[in-house]
Structure 1
Amino acid sequence: MKRSERLVAMTNFLLEHPRVLISLPYFSEEYGAAKSSISEDLDIVDEMFQYQGIGKLETVAGAAGGVKYIPLYSRENSIRFIDELCKRLEEPERILPGGYLYMSDLLGDPDIIRNLGKIFATAFADKRIEYIVTVATKGIPLAYAVANILNVPVIIVRRDPKVTEGSTVSINYVSGSSRKIQTMVLSKRSLPEGANVCIIDDFMKAGGTITGMQSLLKEFNANVVGIGVLAEAEDEEEERVIDEYYSLIKIQDVDIKEQRIEAVKGNYFTE
């Protein structure tokens, strides 16, 4: 195999196996090349990953060592992408009755979801996350995008128990915006005791839903090591019930009368 062919094959393999430790003998046997040549190839791949702002290769020394691809999305790429997304969110036709915003088209776009997953995965890269947790809403595609890059499973908290879930744990919580009592359930088999989890959601107003998920995860003695929301609403009348979280977009104002929306970068870019 020519070096150019080998570089393409290795790059593709690494991109499809994020955070998986791959031994040098594996590459050497797979592509019929000496370890020294493989090492040189990996240096080239690492240099290009960092130049493109999409991650880096991490080398682990020792007999059981090797190399793993750590996906990272550069701050420049992230800011450019979120600025463009804010412009799309400011389209007046997105305003729905009651001051809500139509976002389903964005959350259904594979390219947008993929890039959002990269940004969140970068934000929580050092948290040793074992599971991504989300509630059964439009945030599910986003949770899977983050999980795919971090190479961890997704757990979906549901509003109502399903017979296919088996035994479940349920809690009641107060919705931050409507102040109504609601229920969340999670299968007992879905999460082991003491796991490190990251909560991902598509939208947050007061934070009642996320607080409910935190309470439910306490029943599993889970460690919530990160919270990420795509968009948060800025509302002076609503008191935020959570403090430590990352948001990518902040909806500062929705003026129904003037048909005007103001969207800016979230706190992830200001901290």
Structure 2
Amino acid sequence: MRIDVVSLFPEEVDRCTAFGVTGRARERGLLQLHGWNPRDYADGNYRKTDDRTFGGGPGMVMLVEPLRRCLAAVREADPAPVHVVYLSPQGRRLDQKRVRELAAMPRLVLLCGRYEGVDERLVQAEVDEELSIGDYVLSGGELAAAIVVDTVARLQDGALNDAGSAEQDSFEDGLLDCPHYSHPVEHAYGVVPAVLRSGNHAAIARWRRQQALVRTWQRRPDLLEGRELSKADRKLLQEGLAALEREQSTDPAEDTGPQAG
């Protein structure tokens, strides 16, 4: 997969994606990342890429022409069809479903805004999609672009050492992930649940599913709104919530040690 980043600070995205899974994907040739600076396509000695907004008010707006020329060069650099994404607070909220769709594309162009954003005419003419990573404002789109690169890179075949890891991530099936534990078994902070040490893979799978359902109900109930749970999932959730209620109603003074659930 090839991703082209159009930014006044393309090196920021490059640094953020040079390590870990994304770095490994780049080293293995699974992901090509190219940075483009619209300042290189601006006129004049000052290479101006922004100007004041019409209508008055604070802030500057990125100009059409340097971005248009830059995007034209990006398109010409590779014959593969491009999908241009503008990282913007006005965009659709990025979620795992959309990440999977983006990861299947041969080529992405990520346009990073600065200041008050990009001239709307450029957005209308050149951008295929606007994406937001959350309801807040950043100084620029570079960090958002790095997040997009990370999310799609880890889904490239061979990027993860264990291909099954991505399938168990939060949001892959619309639920949050279950809790995870490692060594030691016993610690002052608690004990690893017995079911995870049982070797009973069916019981472990059932426990993990139940924990994912309960955790989603507790922390992100919006993910369950309008979702038709299967009969088995409904039973797991009801049993899990009942167990949680019993646990919470237990008098702490009566506890004899860490709970294993």
TM over 0.5: no
Higher relative contact order (CA 8 A, sep 6+): 2
TM range (shorter): under 0.3
Larger Rg: 2
Larger strand proportion, structure 1 or 2?
1
Larger helix proportion, structure 1 or 2?
2
